[in-house]
Amino acid sequence: MPASVEIESLRKVFQRRAKRGLLSRRGNGTRTLVAVDGISFSVTAGEVFGLLGPNGAGKTTTIKMLCTLLTPTSGTARVAGHDVVKEATKVRAALGTVMTGERSVYWKLTGRENLAYFAALYRIPSRQARPRIAELLERMELTARANELVEKYSSGMKQRLALARALLAAPPILLLDEPTVGLDPQAARALRELIGSLRHEGRTVLLTTHYMAEADALCDRVAIIDRGRIIALDSPASLKQSLKAKEAIRMEVQGSPNGLEDALRALTTVESVSAKQSDNGSGTCELQVITLGSRGCIGPMIEAVRRTGHEVLHFQVVQPTLEDVFISLTGKSLRE
Ligand SMILES: Nc1ncnc2c1ncn2[C@@H]1O[C@H](COP(=O)(O)OP(=O)(O)O)[C@@H](O)[C@H]1O
Ligand SMILES: [Mg+2]
């Protein structure tokens, strides 16, 4: 299978103007931020490939370089065999893109009008556009609301319309930047099913996400990205398999996370720990621990937590997830 996307030592450095007084101003008063730090990977035709990483990891910057919205600082990227810098027009023609947080459809038009407008923009002859639009509306379950203004749509419907727009010109490759972010669980599930169905028509999908379950459920292969670097790349099953000799433990503990990580890291059987305040407002915190095997270490772990003045409310040994792979590699949780 030929590669649909090939990225080689890709780097993006942003220049930022230093805030006056806060940072010493050297030279021209700018400082640099390395958003993407020399990443390489290729996506095979027909594959659903995920770029999984926390906020700020460099996912969107990578997608923007691929769809020619940003110019790489160095390195190369090819889409359908075309260089993103030298053959930008051909690259754009091979791509359908859905970016996050951007209004990729017009709220003052109906769903159907949006698709007709973009079909004209992409120079799709109207004889072809009409059935194509009807088919996409049907597929995205928007037919019943196709003649309503988009401003009345739910977030899930807007995102499905954005996907329909990206599919209009039947591009071989789709770039989806955090496709389900901000959607309620039901809308996210519906969208995931639609993305999954793209695989069956042989389309190549490169998506980004910070939801490990999404990467796990949808992707043939996942590249885990952190601080602009790829720290692991494999199928979800193989990534989890890499933790086979280890066990993942979840604990719910009374109080704040203070001191918990250090106390647990001091145990020889503990490989990595992430402690987070629960976001349900219960005043508890959640611990995710990777151990070299839970046998014999449960007592000492609970003891170590108690010594910090916390009480263990819940304790569970679980199957490692991609989140545990991330914690094991970086020592922090994906949600940070
Ligand atoms: N236009 C920009 N100018 C300066 N810094 C930027 C710009 N865009 C992104 N960044 C920075 O680059 C890093 C990576 O951002 P981004 O690619 O958006 O990450 P992600 O999509 O994984 O959350 C972040 O530190 C972000 O603040
Ligand atoms: Mg992003």
Hey, where are the domains in the chain? 3-240, 244-319
Distance 34 CA to ligand 1 centre (A): 9
Structure tokens at 24: 């010493």
Task: Tell me the C-alpha distance between 320 and 247, whole Å.
Answer: 7
Is-contact 225 58, C-beta < 8 A? yes
Residues, the chain, total?
336
Task: Tell me the C-alpha distance between 129 and 280, whole Å.
Answer: 47
Residue 330 is predicted with a pLDDT of 85
**Pocket residue to mutate for ligand 1, from 10, 11, 14, 330, most atoms within 8 A of Cβ:** 14
Task: Tell me the C-alpha distance between 290 and 246, whole Å.
Answer: 7
What crossing angle do the helices spanning 111-121 and 126-139 adopt, rounded to 10°?
140
The ligand minimizing its distance to the Cα of 64 is 1
Distance 71 CA to ligand 1 centre (A): 14
Among 214, 217, 213, 233, residue whose Cα is nearest residue 225: 233
Ligand 1 atom at minimum distance from 53 CA: 22
Residue 26 is predicted with a pLDDT of 54
Task: Tell me the C-alpha distance between 23 and 264, whole Å.
Answer: 36
pTM of the entire structure? 0.86
The ligand minimizing its distance to the Cα of 32 is 1
Within 6 A (CB) of ligand 1 lie 14, 16, 33, 35, 53, 55-61
The ligand minimizing its distance to the Cα of 99 is 2
Distance 8 CA to ligand 1 centre (A): 20
Is-contact 47 204, C-beta < 8 A? yes
Structure tokens at 330: 């970086």
Distance 6 CA to ligand 2 centre (A): 20
Task: Tell me the C-alpha distance between 214 and 205, whole Å.
Answer: 14
Secondary structure of residue 22 in the 3-state scheme: coil
Same fold, 3-240 and 244-319: no
Task: Tell me the C-alpha distance between 222 and 90, whole Å.
Answer: 26
Ion ligand 2: residues, CB < 5 A: 59-60
CA-proximal residue: ligand 1, atom 16 (nearest):
58
Tokens 């599919």: give the residue.
Answer: 167
Distance 59 CA to ligand 2 centre (A): 5
Ligand 1 atom at minimum distance from 64 CA: 17
Residue 104 is predicted with a pLDDT of 85
The ligand minimizing its distance to the Cα of 55 is 1
Distance 142 CA to ligand 1 centre (A): 33
pLDDT along the chain (336 residues), means of 10: 88 81 58 95 96 95 97 98 97 94 87 96 93 96 96 94 95 95 91 90 93 92 96 94 83 90 90 87 89 80 91 90 86 71
Tokens 């704040």: give the residue.
Answer: 256
Q: CATH number for the 3-240 domain, one of 3.40.630.30, 3.30.70.20, 1.10.10.10, 3.40.50.300?
A: 3.40.50.300
Report H helices in 200-280: 212-218, 236-241, 260-265
The two beta strands, 173-177 and 95-98, are: parallel
CA-proximal residue: ligand 1, atom 4 (nearest):
14
Distance 215 CA to ligand 1 centre (A): 21
CA-proximal residue: ligand 1, atom 24 (nearest):
56
CATH topology of domain 244-319: Alpha-Beta Plaits (3.30.70)
Residue 258 is predicted with a pLDDT of 87
Residue 100 is predicted with a pLDDT of 83
Report H helices in 200-321: 212-218, 236-241, 260-265, 298-307
